[in-house]
Structure 1
Amino acid sequence: MDTTTKLLGGLLITTMAMSCGTGTQEQSAKEEDPLANCPVVGQYVQVGDNQVLSCDQSLLGDTVHIPLSYFAEEPEIVKLDNRDEALVGQTTVTISDNYILTHSGYPLRAFKLFDRKGNYLTDIGTVGQGPGEYQSVYDAQIDELNQRIYLMPWQSDKLLVFDMQGNILEPIPLGYRCPKAKFRVDPVTGIITIATLPWKDTPAVVWTQDMTGKHLQEIAPGHLKGEHDTSNQEILHSPTLPDVFNLCLFFMFPARVDSLYQYDTEKNQLKPVFTLNHTTDPVPWHGYFEWPNHFTGEFSGPPIERKTKESWTFTQGETYSYIIDKKSGKGAYFKLYNDYLGNQDIKFPDGIFSKGYFVRSIEPGNLLTDIEEALKRQDISDAVRKKLTDLQNTIDDDDNNYVMIAKLKK
């Protein structure tokens, strides 16, 4: 049964804009609501059975600067093990209560498992093209309850499974070959939720199944269908909220209006919860995310074209981030800064919100540069200045990466 709700691109907002203030506003960590003086930029509209917060880009006004402390507790900074076999380089990070899992794409290395103190434990599997091996991996999960690690290859009909010692176990069949799939395994029930690119001949865009591969329910692509083109399409799974399976689709050429969806497993529905009415034509590259009390999003200016001897390449233009309060509908463009460590701006995806945490993996040279720049500022407290100086004295350019982990406030 396909119960996906139709696109929301035609929604109009009639709320009048008010000024957030004059110019860019610095927000104190002591203020209760950094959006209190901002205009109402979105309102809830009824779409089928769903209440959808629809925001109008033309109502977004000034840029507010919001401290990380408004969203997250004070971060711990974990220095990863310096042994040769533990080095990670440029890396993405998956966090659980007791573990850190890293994946380095440049150069390609095996996943590496650390404890939350940074001690290297083991490699997870092996890079390669043989059975149980992997190269590009699109999503990962640590299952502490069952002492398992799951890896979703870039395009596969199997979910790879490893024990906490890094040994390959029997993979989980998926039923369909999944390009760029996102997933979540429920450790208690063993039910797996999977979302994949909705190509025209793909039977489902999202489904649930058990560990044997038996499909329990699914949703056909419907109006979400797209052409076969892995270089032009992404699924932006937004796992900020541990108990909510969010997703939105990212299409580049051409970009198209869409919504942020929650997958309701009980009703087997993709429920639209948020959308932005873009005022630019054509529609820019964009993505939506859900935080505990806000919806956020990004969109970029026109892509920059570069021609080489072999082909054309495209990179996104300047990126704009915005935030809307779920209850009040107030919102603005925003920038996030780390008031715990010298008020440095946080640039996505350098720091991300994922599965209940703010996480950033930092190479030692970049961390030293951040600290040096922060120490030049006059607006940091003596306590923060001492913290930065003490940290600076412990860092060496030859260190392994540092991982910043801050638990999100509810």
Structure 2
Amino acid sequence: MKMNYTHILKLSVVVGFLSACSVSVEKKQINGEDMLVCHVEKVEKEEYTLNLSEWVTSFDVIPLETHDSCLIKDIGKIVLSENYIGIVDRDVYDHPVKLFDRQGQFITNVGQRGQGPEEYLDLSDAYLDEDRNCFYLIGFAGVDKILGYNLKGEFTKSIPLAFKSIDKPKFFIDGDTITCFSMPLANKSVIVFRQTLDGSVIDSVPATPNMYATNYDGEIFVTANASKYELFYTGVDTLFHYNRIHNKLNPAFTATFPHPTIHTYSELPACFVIWSMDIKNPYKQQLMVIDKKTQEARYVQLKNDLFGNIPVNFYRYDKGNIIFIYNSFELKEYIQKALENPGLEKELKERFIKLDQQLTGEENPILMIGKLKNEKGRVNQ
């Protein structure tokens, strides 16, 4: 099964393209597991349109409530649960963590900035556990605990970490188990560990010497979109799967580039995604999709066909969701341009007019959240 694209290609062109793709994407066996390597320099340069509806099963537009007590400066992290949205601002010094409902109504600030045992300074990650009525936060560097708050924003308890003084941690809570990933500085050799809620070690994966970081320049990105947990670590330029049963990190994807780029790898149920930016030309940003089954690699322009084909900007993931963030001034411009389209569907046009009237350009960000399809939800070409 292949991804749907707006280009209608003749059979001869398709055959030629597939021949090229067989060279641009290579499958390797690493410790008995499949790993894909995309040779970006060999991928066809033409850019194709990819509809957002290929990736998601549902789509919500959520303007976040705006007033003095819930202003957002710059979103650093978004976490979701069934009924809540958590926002971690990059500037937690003046903008504490905030909790909204899934309609965008502000509920409360969560905790406060400070150096006390119930407070935080810089944050690396957050997790909403609605079943336990908990909002968990974790610090950025030298971390030895997770801070727990209730959904009223009140501190409840700290969870001790099994390994101390970890850096840039990312974590998930599944039942009574915490899975924590961290960037391994040279003297801190664990890259992932699992523990109980009381801090007892279940298991851990030591970092190999090539993973050791000497400073904080690298990043780790952890998602749960396709496998249980996917880890992209810039220090070794590889996306891994964490196998909880065998307690192993298995390399799943990497790429080669013709020249230096800033890039990230992410994984969806049906494909790997490369976002890249030219170091010499930061305005040149590209998106590439690598289909897992066909091993086709294509540059794509992602189009939001679920919301009037407005441009798609930077996105994040959380718990199998893809999240787009728009500032209100930007979205208002996109909506006004879309309203010039005489072929705009009546229902969507009415929705755009209403939203355009609501937006002044000075509101909190507007979120667009799509639920990612699982592998069985792939769209046939």
Using the size of structure 2 for normalisation, the TM-score is: 0.86
Matched, 1:71 2:35: no
Aligned length: 357
Q: 1:299-328 deviations in whole A, cap 9, x for unaligned? A: 332357xxxxxxxxxxx5733221111111
In structure 2, distance between residues paired with 1:178 and 1:38 = 46
Matched, 1:176 2:164: yes
Runs of 4+ in 1 over 6 A off after TM superposition: none
Deviation at 1:201, TM superposition (A): 0.9
Matched, 1:341 2:341: no
In structure 2, distance between residues paired with 1:55 and 1:274 = 8
Q: In structure 2, what is the equivalent of residue 163 of structure 1?
A: 150
Q: In structure 2, what is the equivalent of residue 286 of structure 1?
A: 263
Q: 1:42-69 deviations in whole A, cap 9, x for unaligned? A: 2422112111122221221121111111
Matched, 1:98 2:80: no
Q: In structure 2, what is the equivalent of residue 235 of structure 1?
A: 220
Q: 1:76-131 deviations in whole A, cap 9, x for unaligned? A: 22232334222223324211111011122247311111111222221111112222
Q: In structure 2, what is the equivalent of residue 56 of structure 1?
A: 39
Q: In structure 1, what is the equivalent of residue 117 of structure 2?
A: 131
Deviation at 1:220, TM superposition (A): 1.2
Residues 1:379 and 1:64: Cα distance change in structure 2 (over 3 Å): farther
Deviation at 1:379, TM superposition (A): 6.7
Range that drifts further, 358-367 or 135-144: 358-367
Please state which structure has a larger fraction of its residues in helix. 2
Using the size of structure 1 for normalisation, the TM-score is: 0.80
In structure 2, distance between residues paired with 1:238 and 1:279 = 27
| 8 A contact 1:89–1:363 mirrored in 2 | no
In structure 1, distance between residues paired with 2:15 and 2:340 = 31
SS of 2:287 mapped into structure 1 = strand
In structure 2, distance between residues paired with 1:105 and 1:36 = 47
Q: 1:220-268 deviations in whole A, cap 9, x for unaligned? A: 11143334311x1111223334x621112124xxxxx532101101101
Unpaired stretches in structure 1, ≥5 consecutive residues: 1-19, 29-34, 252-256, 305-315
Which residues in structure 2 correspond to 1:35-50 (within 5 Å)? Answer: 38-39=17-18, 40=21, 41-50=24-33
| 8 A contact 2:78–2:318 mirrored in 1 | no
Q: In structure 1, what is the equivalent of residue 377 of structure 2?
A: none
The CA RMSD measured in Å over matched residues stands at 2.5
Residues 1:408 and 1:99: Cα distance change in structure 2 (over 3 Å): same
Deviation at 1:286, TM superposition (A): 2.4
Which residues in structure 2 correspond to 1:378-397 (within 5 Å)? Answer: 380-397=344-361
Residues 1:87 and 1:202: Cα distance change in structure 2 (over 3 Å): same
Q: In structure 1, what is the equivalent of residue 339 of structure 2?
A: 375
Percent of aligned pairs with the same amino acid: 25
In structure 2, distance between residues paired with 1:94 and 1:38 = 39
In structure 2, distance between residues paired with 1:66 and 1:93 = 25
Residue type matched to 1:82 in 2?
Answer: T
Residue type matched to 1:341 in 2?
Answer: F
Deviation at 1:192, TM superposition (A): 0.9
Matched, 1:330 2:296: yes
In structure 1, distance between residues paired with 2:28 and 2:191 = 25
Q: In structure 2, what is the equivalent of residue 7 of structure 1?
A: none
1:153 to 139, 144, 159: 139
Deviation at 1:388, TM superposition (A): 1.9
In structure 1, distance between residues paired with 2:366 and 2:237 = 36
Residues 1:96 and 1:330: Cα distance change in structure 2 (over 3 Å): same
